[in-house]
Amino acid sequence: MTLFAILIATFAAGIGSVWLAAGLMRVGLPGYRVEATAHAGPPHLLSLAAGALLATSFIHLLPEAFESQAGAQELFATLLVGLIFFFLLDKAELWHHGHEHHRDRHGHEHYGRDGHDASAHDGHEAAGHPARGAAPVASGGWAVLTGDSVHCFGDGILIASAFMADLRLGLVAALAVLAHEVPHHIGDLAVLGQSSNRRVALVKVSLAGAVTPLGGLTGWWLVDRLQDYLPYFLAVASSSFVYVALADLIPQLQKRLSARDTAAQIAWLVVGLGMVTLVSRMAH
């Protein structure tokens, strides 16, 4: 039963998020331009995803880990090591492929003289076109897919770890993964769509998303044999969610905005928090 739930949840989070992203691109989003997704995901989706990830980590995963017999010092040490580990993977451009959408080939962000993101004034970079001297987008397609696949495999393991602790916790973790993968997949589809047609891009990203159930199966097999280490798996999952929210999603939202847009960001962040809480109560 648990394995079946893991496979269904990882399939929905992995492939479902790709098709949801494609659907949102097709129908269009308020204040959203397809060309801008190569630079960053839609702001309200980023806010919602950040809220969902933080709520899942601090309200569900970490409390579940600390309810075990594991010591607090060991769990906090695992959390710290996890954050550093994901930072190193990010540096290797394998875990968080989102940086490929809004940084140049040297990994630097562009800012104008007034401190604003220069891409807001540069139509080519905001549209995801390579900067002068940068490698063509087509050459980075496989890098995007490789990073996506590794990311999805890790998501599958994290979802499986949550399901092994509690069915409700697994549903919440799957929802959080789904929420943060949608804006990332929108960016992936926009980038790959520049070097191939939309259907081919959708198939490629869907294949990368299909790695999520494989990660779920691996996580189930691994955690089932290491039940005593389940609290540490949950701490690692928490470190992943916290890192994605604070190092990837929220920095894309740190821009000078009007009071109305700022209020909208906060509102969507609260929606993400509330969504996780609501799903948790419904599952209970």
Residue 77, pLDDT score:
95
Alpha carbon distances (Å) from 209 to 36, 58, 212: 22, 26, 6
First to last CA, the chain: 17
Lowest mean pLDDT among 100-109, 152-161, 233-242: 100-109
Residue 254, pLDDT score:
83
Q: What is the pTM of this model?
A: 0.72
pLDDT tens, position by position, 21-61: 888 888 765 444 444 443 345 678 888 889 999 999 998 89
Q: Is the pLDDT of residue 132 over 50?
A: no
Q: In the predicted model, what is the mean pLDDT of residues 168-194?
A: 85
Q: In the predicted model, what is the mean pLDDT of residues 69-73?
A: 87
pLDDT tens, position by position, 182-214: 888 887 888 777 766 788 888 888 998 999 999
Percent of the chain at pLDDT above 90? 32
User: Which residues contact residue 23 at a Cβ distance below 8 angstroms, ignoring those fewer than 6 apart?
Assistant: none
To which residue do tokens 């891409």 refer?
Answer: 119
Q: In the predicted model, what is the mean pLDDT of residues 147-168?
A: 89
Residue 201, pLDDT score:
84
Rounded Cα–Cα distance for residues 203 and 69 (Å): 45
Is-contact 275 175, C-beta < 8 A?
yes
Residue 94, pLDDT score:
52
pLDDT tens, position by position, 251-273: 888 888 788 888 888 999 999 89
Residue 141, pLDDT score:
60
The confidence band for 81, taking pLDDT boundaries of 50, 70 and 90, is very high
Higher pLDDT: 243 or 112? It is: 243
Give residue 93's region: left, alpha or beta (phi > 0; psi -120 to 50).
Answer: left
Q: Which of 69, 81, 44, 77 is nearest to 183 (CA)?
A: 44
Question: What single string gives the DSSP state of each residue in 241-253?
Answer: HHHIIIIIIHHHH
Rounded Cα–Cα distance for residues 50 and 192 (Å): 24
Residue 104, pLDDT score:
42
Q: Is the pLDDT of residue 177 over 50?
A: yes
Higher pLDDT: 97 or 147? It is: 147
User: Which residues contact residue 148 at a Cβ distance below 8 angstroms, ignoring those fewer than 6 apart?
Assistant: 97, 184, 188, 205, 208, 209
Higher pLDDT: 190 or 3? It is: 3
Q: Is the pLDDT of residue 138 over 70?
A: no
Domain definitions of the chain by residue range: 2-31+45-283
Q: Is the pLDDT of residue 10 over 80?
A: yes
